[in-house]
A and B are shown apart, each in its own frame.
Chain A
Amino acid sequence: MLDKIGIAKRIAKEIKDGYYVNLGIGIPTLVANYIPQGMNVVLQSENGLLGMGPFPFEGEEDPDLINAGKQTITTVPGSAFFDSAMSFGMIRSRKVDLTILGAMEVSESGDIANWKIPGKMVKGMGGAMDLVASAKNIIVAMQHVNKAGESKLLSKCDLPLTGVNCVKKIVTELAVLDVTPQGFRLLERAPGVSVEEIKKATQGRLIVEGEIPEMIID
């Protein structure tokens, strides 16, 4: 089974040289730490920055320089600032190659829910609805089951949707799966996790064909 860092490391392997990538809040933010050295990747922060760098050194925080999670950050050489309309312009016109975000639920047809729990949590969608509606490629980082042990990979989402038919790939603590027209296709198992365990944790339709290899993380 993977921890959060394991999930981030596995997702980092999906990033290719030359990609512009938008990272959501939570596990997706950690992915930045595991992009292979020497790879040319530019991180987009939807509050208005291309070329996001690591957190600043203590004492060098700049209140005018934050990421979409409102954290203090730095820029890397070659970065650019822009306004919020242009930021979502580049997202809508599919200039961003890969979007990585978290989810509360994903359905077998690629619907995603991650912004609202009726009666409990009302935080808002932020930029998530814009991102999922337009992204060329969306990878979701999430837990396979909730705290009560119930599957979050469903035949149909129960929670209010963020977007429909948009998720392409999911990485959980148990598995890597593609979302296909036929349902979730199991691609890889987390170290020490059996296909049976993944079947039990997946409520939506799961396609298992042939030998399922164990993930290679490091």
Chain B
Amino acid sequence: MNKTVKNAEEAIKDIRDNATIMLGGFGLCGIPENCITALVKKGVRGLTCISNNAGVDDFGIGLMLQTRQVKKMISSYVGENAEFERQLLSGELEVELIPQGTLATRCLAAGYGMPAIFTPAGVGTEVAIGKESRKFMVDGQEKEFLMEMAFDADFALVKAWKGDPHGNLIFRETARNFNPMMAMAGRVTIAEVEELVPAGTLDPDHIHTPGIYVHRIFQGTNYEKRIEQRTVRKK
């Protein structure tokens, strides 16, 4: 298989207005920088973005908020972005906040071909409003679980450390985060990698995401990998 495309522009060329897209990453760690830049350049609007966070004002998904390309965000935590907060409070942006584990597992369910999952996260809170719930026995005690539906996303944009033309991916450190399960969940999955290596180079035992889940792959350029909170200790 050769799923290699030239660059981000080519990879995202059929993402149209009002698409639902997943974006990997936790904070600014492991985000698909090249695809975000290409989406800003392309100027598609009305996007629904499923992503744990919404970037910061001038980086990550924050760039697409500045240009008002996002109609709705589905996230677990959005605290680092003033423009986001402004659009939310003014009603320009629709936001659905969901628990982080629920977000991850709804992606996982999509990639595993399961329509729904049951989780205790959010029981008794406003997250549970309007949702079906069921009681199960856990450790000899009855416990309530919410039914949460698998996501259905037109595209998943993920960032990996290494990949090959088959679409096999290896992630690095905590930049893995949501990327593997979003890669599994997209109808069309686009992977950008720091290093695209020839087929047969990656050890099959080390693959995190098998290429069957990935439809397009390209080697990204000019990764900034911005650090959100630089914390250090003295030598």
Contacts and interface: CB of A to CB of B under 8 A. Distances in A.
A46 B101 CA distance: 9
Interface stretch (B1-9, B15-23, B118-126, B214-222): B118-126
A96 to B, nearest CB: 12
A127 B101 contact: yes
Contacts of A122: 78, 85, 88-89, 95, 97
At the interface, is chain B mostly helix, strand, loop or mixed? loop
Interface string B165-178: 00000011111111
Contact of A66 (B78, B79, B122, B174): B174
Interface residues of B, number: 61
B63 interface: no
B32 interface: no
A49 B99 contact: no
A70 B171 CA distance: 18
A54 to B, nearest CB: 6
Contacts of B75: 124
Contact of B124 (A45, A64, A161): A161
Interface in A92-151: 92, 94, 111, 122-130, 133-134
Nearest to B180: A83
A72 B178 contact: no
B230 A61 contact: yes
Nearest to A86: B104
Interface string B74-96: 01111110000100110000010
Considering residues A45, A129, A134, which has the most beta carbons from chain B within 10 angstroms of its beta carbon?
A129
Contacts of B226: 63
A91 interface: yes
Contacts of B201: none
B176 A81 contact: yes
Interface residues of A, number: 53
Considering residues B88, B100, B120, which has the most beta carbons from chain A within 10 angstroms of its beta carbon?
B100
Contacts of B101: 84-85, 87-88, 91-92, 127, 129-130
A124 B78 contact: yes
Nearest to B179: A83
A65 B174 contact: yes
B229 A72 contact: yes
Contact of B176 (A58, A82, A128, A160): A82
A46 B100 contact: yes
A61 B119 CA distance: 36
A126 B119 contact: no
B76 A124 contact: yes
Given A64-B174, A163-B124, A133 B119 contact: yes
Contacts of A58: 232-235
Contacts of B227: 61, 63, 66, 72
B224 to A, nearest CB: 9
A47 interface: yes
Contacts of B127: 125, 129
A125 B173 contact: no
Contact of A55 (B78, B123, B177, B231): B231
A47 B29 contact: yes
B76 to A, nearest CB: 5
Given A49-B173, A64-B174, 11 more contacts: A48-B176, A55-B232, A61-B232, A65-B174, A66-B229, A70-B229, A83-B104, A83-B177, A111-B124, A126-B77, A163-B123
Interface of A: 45-49, 54-67, 69-73, 81-85, 87-89, 91-92, 94, 111, 122-130, 133-134, 160-165
29 contacts: A47-B29, A48-B174, A48-B176, A54-B233, A55-B232, A57-B232, A60-B232, A63-B29, A64-B173, A65-B174, A66-B227, A70-B26, A70-B27, A73-B231, A81-B173, A84-B101, A84-B181, A88-B101, A88-B105, A111-B124, A124-B76, A126-B76, A129-B99, A129-B100, A129-B102, A129-B125, A130-B121, A162-B125, A164-B125
